[in-house]
Structure 1
Amino acid sequence: MKTRIRNGLTGAALAVALVTASIAQAGTLTANIAFKGAGQRAVWEQTFDAFHKAHPDIDVKVSYVDEEAFKVQLPGWLTTAPPDILNWHNGERMAYYAKRGLFDDLTADWTKNNWNSMYASTKESSSYNGKQYAAPTVYYSWGMFYRKDLFDKAGISAEPKTWPEFLDACKKLKAAGITPVAVAGRDAWTLAGWFDYLDLRINGNAFHQKLMAGEVPYTDPRVKKVYTTWKDLIDNKVFIDNSLSYDLDAVQPFLFQGKAAMMLMGTFITAGFPADIKPKMGYFQFPIIDAKVPTAEDGPVEALNIPSKAKNKADAHTFLAFVETPEISAQLATGLGSLPANSKSPEPEDPISKIGFQILSQTRGGIAQFYDRDMTKEMADEGMKGMQQFVSDPTKLDEILAQLEATRKRIYKK
């Protein structure tokens, strides 16, 4: 198989390489793949090799591009010389290009290849205006990590499944001299995880997505209820002191050293757990606040897309049909350090990943893409800045919401 590896090229050299890669002849499939680290690139190479072996008549030319450079180059590729296949994110980031006519409609692929069943939990995030523009590959779960030994020490007999059980667990931990929850507020996106889950549990994913789309005022009582529920946790000293002083790397020792018992985070973090700590860690679904609200989760989805200006769409569709299977999804997930988006894939062997996989594959209330993937970047940045202001001084809640509402009106003109 002929492949072109374009790792580490920047500027004019990268542009020339990618234009060259995008000039497809009959029987040649071109792809631009974003990757981070040797392991991610290796699993994509393995996948394209397997595809060529299954379809020896199709030549494959792949450009592997560092993830950050990929983000910068993507708009130019889509409008000038796109490849036949590329990988990207679901949610607003996908819809941004779909609404501009730069991604191909894959609805027929979803029907033909039984993706509606195998990828049911990620269909919503793959859709724009009722049509599907993405083929999901992997995602990762968000939930509550906790120290099992600290729960035992505090007399907590079971993982909390409801909000009253969670609040009772926090009370017992404080009584035992243990801070209930570590949060890295210096990284604003970690606060966004708390906003997402409180909103999903209180108001549901349908409301959450309207808010993310700028269709709901930030002064709406339902938005304020999310923040007042959050404020109760702050007032009751559920979180570590001075959380805005810690980024994710700095806050994890609170868990490792037994100073804090829980942390809301994505399953991608498990790779950094020390060997002596990992057996002590457990993971559970964010507790249910209102049983009448369909249970939704944060599960950021990675996907494959066919640019609307691609030259060889026939082979691109053949590639998607090859990749979107339980076996390939599982292989990609292992190599990418994520979970298979295909609900028919074998469950991961890692205990925490297995729980995350079960949570997401069984979710029926929808899967959100995470705060800054579900809305426009400018609004997300302002929203997360507001969260940091709120955590710094919760008494300024009304002022912060009014400020966010003014920003919403300016950005969305609604």
Structure 2
Amino acid sequence: MFAHRLRAFGTLARVTAAAAIVAATFTGAATNADASTLTVNVSARANQRSTWQDAFDKFKKANPDIDLKVSYIDEEAYKVQISGWLATDPPDVVSWHDGERMAYYAQRGLLEDLSTDWAKNGWNDQYAAVKGASTWNGKQYAAPLGYDAYGFFYRKDLFEKAGIKSEPKTWNELIDACKKLKASGVQPIAVAARDSWTLAAWFDYLDLRINGNAFHQQLMAGQIPYTDARVKKVFTAWKSLMDNQCFMENALSYDVDSIGPVLVSGKAAMMLMGTFFSASFPANMKQDVGFFRFPVIDANVPMAEDGPVNVLLIPAKAKNKADARRLLAFMETPEINADLARGWGQLPSNNKAAAPEDPISKVGFQTLANTSGGIAQFYDRDMQKEMADEGMKAMQQFYSDPSQIDTLLARLETTRQRIYHK
């Protein structure tokens, strides 16, 4: 009897164990099937992807219950496609830009209101400096990442060879530096004009230095005619640099990805660009690269700067908003904000993040910290998209033929009147 019971118990134990294995298998399958999928689209150049991926890997490790799927898309293609995503079947999170770029979609009801996230996660304090750029109609729609300071990258060794004793601080000193570099056999300023937004940086700074930020913002808002004499003054100053042969030849053949080797090889000595561009220089030559603020043109005009902020957004039609908010909360922590900025050669927008250690970023940080005349987001981030696109197209045409200033400005004014109905 005992043996019979023992055999019966053994059989029962095996059946129970088998049942447990089957149950565990189904439970595991159910757990995997129930794992939340979170889709993210990111605009990134090739040298930025590893920094993004490091942050996403840390998020996945901290949130193993989320199946994170990230798509990396070339920056120019991304700009074309994002409107379609947001209006139809968007991913759960997208990278984008602050200011008018963000507001354009917020006012069309295509973005999730993140105001409660700002309050709950302490962003109102940590991101106070960029809260305004993340706000539309009193509500916050963006989660800030890094931001850039703009200025001139320059080759210290080429400056020394040309006999340039110090970084240009005034307009006349900039033109003098161009002449000396040209005489030494070096093209003074590299320009990636095939990417029209790089020309917009020139327009921004010339306008900010000549007319000031208040005028600039009115122009960006469509409140000032392009035929205004003050706008023509910007293009006239720009043309004077061309007349002094300050710019490289064939600039319209170069984009941002192909312009780096021009400076690395020493064919050109300067370039107006955001601090993110520091990642384009090999580690062994970074000691030869400096960075200086766009020079003063009119000493009576307060110095203003471009400081565009990159952000993450949750589309209004996103399917997994709960996990999207978890991702944003993670990416906005001081540690991750600092890691992203460091990897991109940018500045952290979180005021509790560690200060940048990179020499270029330090200069950019100090430039923005000591700016008394205001901080603009950037030409095509401060302006309605259609107007910005037409403006940048005109800048490329101007760069190709600077004798057509009046014709181009008249056409832009016709466009402004149509878009802004003024």
RMSD: 3.4
Q: How does 1:66-145 map to 2 (within 5 A)?
A: 66-68=72-74, 74-75=82-83, 78-79=86-87, 85-110=93-118, 113-145=121-153
Q: 1:268 aligns with which of 273, 276, 284?
A: 276
CA distance in 2, matches of 1:184, 1:409: 30
CA distance in 2, matches of 1:369, 1:310: 27
Q: Note if 1:390 corresponds to 2:402.
A: no
Normalized against structure 2, the TM-score is what?
A: 0.77
Q: CA deviation at 1:99?
A: 0.5
Note closer, same or farther for the CA distance 1:293–1:309 as it changes in structure 2 (3 Å cut).
Answer: farther
* Per-residue deviation, residues 287-344 of structure 1 (Å, max 9, x unmatched): 2333444433223322122344557766655654443232120122244554322233
Q: CA deviation at 1:258?
A: 3.5
Higher gyration radius (CA):
2
Note closer, same or farther for the CA distance 1:374–1:323 as it changes in structure 2 (3 Å cut).
Answer: same
CA distance in 2, matches of 1:66, 1:73: 13
Residue of structure 2 in register with 1:231 after alignment: 239
AA matched with 1:39: S
Q: 1:342 aligns with which of 350, 373, 379?
A: 350
Q: 1:198 aligns with which of 202, 206, 218?
A: 206
The SS at the match of 1:151 is helix
Q: CA deviation at 1:106?
A: 3.3
Q: How does 1:308-319 map to 2 (within 5 A)?
A: 308=316
Q: CA deviation at 1:402?
A: 0.5
CA distance in 1, matches of 2:238, 2:80: 36
* Per-residue deviation, residues 99-137 of structure 1 (Å, max 9, x unmatched): 112223334544565534533442332122343321201
8 Å CA contact 1:119–1:136 kept in 2: the answer is yes
What is the total number of aligned residue pairs between the two structures? 385
8 Å CA contact 2:171–2:297 kept in 1: the answer is yes
Q: 1:182 aligns with which of 185, 190, 209?
A: 190
Q: How does 1:292-303 map to 2 (within 5 A)?
A: 292-303=300-311
Residue of structure 1 in register with 2:54 after alignment: 43
CA distance in 2, matches of 1:348, 1:48: 23
8 Å CA contact 2:55–2:331 kept in 1: the answer is no
- List alignment gaps of at least 5 residues for structure 1: 1-24, 54-58
Residue of structure 2 in register with 1:60 after alignment: 66
AA matched with 1:42: Q
8 Å CA contact 1:161–1:288 kept in 2: the answer is yes
CA distance in 1, matches of 2:110, 2:170: 43
CA distance in 1, matches of 2:68, 2:419: 37
Q: How does 1:204-215 map to 2 (within 5 A)?
A: 204-215=212-223
Percent identity of the aligned residues?
A: 62
Residue of structure 2 in register with 1:379 after alignment: 387
Note closer, same or farther for the CA distance 1:364–1:290 as it changes in structure 2 (3 Å cut).
Answer: same
Residue of structure 1 in register with 2:171 after alignment: 163
Residue of structure 2 in register with 1:327 after alignment: 335
CA distance in 2, matches of 1:95, 1:310: 18
CA distance in 2, matches of 1:164, 1:206: 25
8 Å CA contact 1:156–1:169 kept in 2: the answer is yes
Q: CA deviation at 1:195?
A: 0.8
Q: Pick which of 171-180 and 349-358 moved more.
A: 171-180
AA matched with 2:70: Y
AA matched with 2:72: D
8 Å CA contact 2:192–2:254 kept in 1: the answer is yes
The SS at the match of 1:96 is helix
CA distance in 2, matches of 1:79, 1:255: 41
AA matched with 2:297: I
CA distance in 2, matches of 1:81, 1:251: 36
8 Å CA contact 2:38–2:67 kept in 1: the answer is yes
Q: CA deviation at 1:177?
A: 4.8
8 Å CA contact 1:343–1:361 kept in 2: the answer is no
Q: CA deviation at 1:366?
A: 3.9
The SS at the match of 2:403 is helix
Note closer, same or farther for the CA distance 1:316–1:242 as it changes in structure 2 (3 Å cut).
Answer: closer
Q: 2:248 aligns with which of 215, 225, 240?
A: 240
CA distance in 2, matches of 1:204, 1:132: 27
CA distance in 2, matches of 1:388, 1:222: 20
* Per-residue deviation, residues 333-357 of structure 1 (Å, max 9, x unmatched): 2445543222332233332233233
CA distance in 2, matches of 1:71, 1:385: 15
8 Å CA contact 1:35–1:64 kept in 2: the answer is no
CA distance in 2, matches of 1:242, 1:125: 36
Note closer, same or farther for the CA distance 1:391–1:83 as it changes in structure 2 (3 Å cut).
Answer: closer
Q: 2:230 aligns with which of 222, 231, 238?
A: 222
Residue of structure 2 in register with 1:154 after alignment: 162
Q: CA deviation at 1:381?
A: 2.8
Note closer, same or farther for the CA distance 1:85–1:363 as it changes in structure 2 (3 Å cut).
Answer: farther
* Per-residue deviation, residues 60-116 of structure 1 (Å, max 9, x unmatched): 343312325766665465456666644322122211111112223334544565534
8 Å CA contact 2:277–2:345 kept in 1: the answer is no
AA matched with 2:360: I
Residue of structure 2 in register with 1:21 after alignment: none
CA distance in 2, matches of 1:300, 1:254: 25
Note closer, same or farther for the CA distance 1:184–1:308 as it changes in structure 2 (3 Å cut).
Answer: closer
Q: Pick which of 177-186 and 225-234 moved more.
A: 177-186
CA distance in 1, matches of 2:66, 2:313: 16
8 Å CA contact 2:101–2:385 kept in 1: the answer is no
